[in-house]
Amino acid sequence: MIKLAFFDTKPYDRIWFDKYCDDFDISIKYFESKLTEDTAVMARGCKAVCAFVNDDINKNVIDVLSENGISLVALRCAGFNNVNLKAAKDKIKIARVPAYSPYAVAEHAIAMLLCLNRKLHKAYIRTRDFNFSLSGMTGFDLHGKTVGIVGTGKIGRVFADICKGFGMKIIAYDPVCTDGSLEYTDFDTICQNSDIISLNCPLTKENKHMINEKTISKMKDGVCIINTSRGGLIDSDALLEGLRNKKIGSAALDVYEEESELFYEDMSAETDRDEKLAMLLSMPNVLITSHQAFLTNEALENIASVTLDNVKSFFDGEELKNEVKY
């Protein structure tokens, strides 16, 4: 039986991994701790490690895992910007779950857009206090608006399909993936012409802080920015300034560039809080969720089955079709 060290465990993870692990002849040792240089040694005695988006798989972690006999890191996520692939080369194989449920993420992005635009978060609180005033609750029709989609992989294409249903005009930017049904343009044109910009792309060295002071200055006044991908795509300081001077009308964020020690944890009792995040949370035109766009039963089931299949395939000597290579 293959022993798997599972880091950053949450109760919703165990439901599906416990259900399927026996089918793949895998036993799982769960750890609530994130995978870091200090915790990597806890994987000793296992053959593989299962990690998530906020685990830090840097060179030192790779070295510790390798020294302790770990030959595979199975990411239970699509993104891999938290992995030092160069350090892992020739030491440890890296696999991921490339598409667990594009519908989950795309639908969450739309839900955040609708909530912000129609002030549903405000209405929920207001009516619970028996305040039925409509002052300050005006939104806008999505029909006829231009949405700029950055990244047209599976999630971006599902998001585009939903936007078409609302009667929105779609323009797209993606240097890699193309879809014949979409109108493609460059990122500057996305900034200049979009009423809504949705980020649906992975984080790379090339696109880090693609939303910055310069690109924000090119955007329409009152633009809505949605990010359900990775926090590092947006420069938080530039975002805050854009919100303050009303260049940005609203922001829907499921991710934050300094989220690794915050998201997925209950930080309500902490007094030493991230100042930028606190400022964003204080703004009435900002909606933040804690990297939960993926969180549906269908996605969690797919994550578990694909991750476990990656592990079994590797140790059975089969092709590791979801391998991430340097």
**Shared domain check, 75 and 121:** no
**Shared domain check, 50 and 173:** no
Number of domains in the chain: 2
- For residue range 257-308, list pLDDT tens digits in order: 999 889 999 999 988 999 999 999 999 999 999 999 999 999 999 999 999 9
**Shared domain check, 267 and 121:** yes
**Shared domain check, 115 and 196:** yes
**Shared domain check, 61 and 202:** no
- Tell me the residue range of the domain where 149 lies: 102-288
**Shared domain check, 309 and 187:** no
3-state secondary structure of 121: helix
**Shared domain check, 129 and 40:** no
**Shared domain check, 126 and 240:** yes
> What is the distance between the alpha carbons of residues 308 and 239, in angstroms, rounded to a whole number?
39
**Shared domain check, 58 and 30:** yes
Q: Are 8 and 52 in contact (CB under 8 A)?
A: yes
pLDDT at 177 over 90: no
Residues with active-site annotation? 230, 259, 291
3-state secondary structure of 267: coil
pLDDT at 2 over 90: yes
Q: Which sign, positive or negative, has the C-alpha torsion 252, 239, 189, 193?
A: positive
- For residue range 99-108, list pLDDT tens digits in order: 899 999 999 9
- For residue range 109-157, list pLDDT tens digits in order: 999 999 999 999 999 999 999 999 999 999 999 999 999 999 999 999 9
Indicate whether 325 belongs to any domain.
Answer: no
**Shared domain check, 304 and 271:** no
Any idea what the CATH number is for the domain that residue 283 is in? 3.40.50.720
Q: Which sign, positive or negative, has the C-alpha torsion 179, 185, 191, 194?
A: negative
Indicate whether 126 belongs to any domain.
Answer: yes
Indicate whether 301 belongs to any domain.
Answer: yes
Indicate whether 326 belongs to any domain.
Answer: no
**Shared domain check, 241 and 159:** yes
Read off the tokens for 262: 């915050």
Q: What percentage of the chain has pLDDT greater than the value 90?
A: 95
Q: Are 61 and 81 in contact (CB under 8 A)?
A: no
Indicate whether 48 belongs to any domain.
Answer: yes
pLDDT at 99: 87
**Shared domain check, 190 and 78:** no
User: How many residues does the structure list for the chain?
Assistant: 326
Average pLDDT (63-80) is: 96
> What is the distance between the alpha carbons of residues 248 and 197, in angstroms, rounded to a whole number?
11
Q: Which of 36, 35, 27 is nearest to 4 (CA)?
A: 27
Indicate whether 321 belongs to any domain.
Answer: no
Three-state SS annotation for 203-255: CCCCCCCCECHHHHHCCCCCEEEEECCCHHHECHHHHHHHHHCCCEEEEEECC
Q: Which residues pair with 173 in a beta bridge?
A: 150
Q: How far is CA 173 from CA 14, 57, 159, 229, 251, in A?
A: 37, 30, 14, 15, 19
Indicate whether 320 belongs to any domain.
Answer: no
The DSSP element (H or E) to which 189 belongs, if any, is helix 187-193
- For residue range 232-251, list pLDDT tens digits in order: 999 999 999 999 999 999 99
CA angle 74, 13, 324 (to 5 degrees): 20
Name residues whose C-beta falls within 8 Å of residue 51's C-beta, 6 or more positions apart in sequence: 7, 8, 35, 57, 73, 74, 75, 76, 82
Indicate whether 192 belongs to any domain.
Answer: yes
Q: Which residues pair with 224 in a beta bridge?
A: 196, 250
pLDDT at 10: 95
